[in-house]
Amino acid sequence: MLNDSIRVFAPASISNVGPGFDIMGFALNEPGDEIILRKRKDRKLFIKKITGTSVELPYQPKLNTATAGIINILKEKNLDYGIDVEIHKKMGIGSGLGSSAASAVGGVFAINELLSLKLTHYELLKYSLVGESIASKAIHADNVAPCLYGGFILVRSYDPIDIVRIEYPKNIFCSIVYPGIVIKTSEARKLLSKMVSLKKAVSQAGNAAGLIAGLMKNDMGLIKRSMVDHIAESKRSKLIPYYDEIRKAAFNAGAMNCNITGSGPSMFAFSTSRHEAEKIAAAMSAVVLGFGHECIRYISGINSKGPKILG
C-alpha cells in the first residue's frame, strides 16, 4: 500500500470448540476489533487512543497485545518507520471471544498491509502470538489462527506450529451469548488439571476426530455427538453461575450443542439456519437476563476471510 494510514477489522473467534481444547477454533463475522495505523516522520511508536472498553489497557507498546507484534516485525525486518496506533475494542475483554487475539492479529495484519511487507500468514502468525501471549501468559493459537486465517482451524502441533484449515458446512450458524461477567484466560487455565486419565484422553481424541470428520462430511449428527469436552469445560463451567440453565435453554430451542467458548463466560451453540440461530440465541440470553445479569448476543456464520481492510 502507498497510503500513510490504514484501518483494519480483525474478527472475534470461537476457540476450543467442544473437544478441541487449545487446538480448534473458527472465526466469526462479528464482533471484532478495529486497528488504525498512521505513519510518523520519526521512528517512534505510540498508542494514541484506546476506545470501547472500561478495562484499563496499557499504552506502553511493548505491553499491549496490539503493538507487541508490530514492534517485533519492525525490529526483525530492520524497518525505520514510526507508527501511531489506535485500538478500538468492539468486544468485551475476558469474553472468551478472542479479544486479545483480534487485537494482536489486527496489529500485525495492519502493519503488513501498510508497509507492503508481503509476509505470509505463517509469518504473521508468529508475530501475532507474541501479542497474544501478553494477555494469556501462554502460547496458544486456537483464537489467533482462525482470526488470522479465517474459517475453521486445527492447530495440529505447537512445536513446530502446524495450522490446518478444515472444510465445514457452509450452512452452519453460531449463536453466542456473552454474559456481563469477566473471566481471565490466565486465571481460568489455573483450574485445569495437569494430568488426564487414559480413559478421558481416548474419549477426547475420539470426539475431536469425530468433530473434524463431521465438519468435512457435512454430517450434523456426527458434529452433535462429538461436541463433548472431557478436559476443560467441567472445570470452567463452575465460573459461569447459570451454565446448566443456558445449556438446557439452548437444547430446548433446537441447538446441536451448547459449549463454553475459550475460557468463557461466553457460550455458543450450532444450528443450520439463521432463523434457528436467532431463536436459540434469544433462549440463551433470556436465561442470563433472568438471573439479573446483562448480556450481549451475536448471530454469525463462520467467517472464511479473517481480517480485512476497512480503509
CATH code of the domain covering residue 268: 3.30.70.890
Q: Is 272 a catalytic residue?
A: no
Same-domain check for residues 154 and 22: yes
Same-domain check for residues 129 and 185: no
Three-class SS of residue 62?
helix
In a domain, residue 187? The reply is: yes
At residue 137, the pLDDT reads: 66
**CATH number of the domain where residue 45 is located:** 3.30.230.10
Three-class SS of residue 197?
coil
Same-domain check for residues 121 and 187: no
Same-domain check for residues 184 and 133: no
From 113, 185, 261, 276, active-site residue: 185
Same-domain check for residues 112 and 257: no
Same-domain check for residues 184 and 118: no
Residue type, 221: G
Distance, in Å, from the CA atom of 129 to the CA atom of 70, rounded to the nearest integer, reads: 11
Same-domain check for residues 245 and 178: yes
Query: Torsion over CA of 241, 246, 249 and 255, rounded to 10 degrees?
Result: -160
pTM: 0.94
**pLDDT above 70 as % of the chain:** 98
From 132, 167, 187, 272, active-site residue: 132
Same-domain check for residues 23 and 151: yes
Overall number of domains in the chain: 2
In a domain, residue 67? The reply is: yes
Q: Taking a C-beta distance cutoff of 8 angstroms, is the pair 34, 88 a contact?
A: yes
In a domain, residue 206? The reply is: no
Closest C-alpha among 84, 78, 82, 92 to residue 32: 92
Cell numbers given for 112 = 503488513
Q: Is 276 a catalytic residue?
A: no
Same-domain check for residues 18 and 143: yes
Closest C-alpha among 61, 54, 52 to residue 33: 52
At residue 1, the pLDDT reads: 45
- Span 184-234, pLDDT tens digits: 766 777 778 788 899 999 999 999 999 999 999 999 999 999 999 999 998
Q: How far is CA 92 from CA 196, 244, 252, 266, 285, in A?
A: 31, 23, 27, 10, 16
Domain with 147, as residue range(s), is 5-167+304-309
Closest C-alpha among 96, 97, 99, 141 to residue 122: 141
Low-confidence ranges of the chain (pLDDT < 50): 1
Q: Taking a C-beta distance cutoff of 8 angstroms, is the pair 54, 102 a contact?
A: no
At residue 294, the pLDDT reads: 93
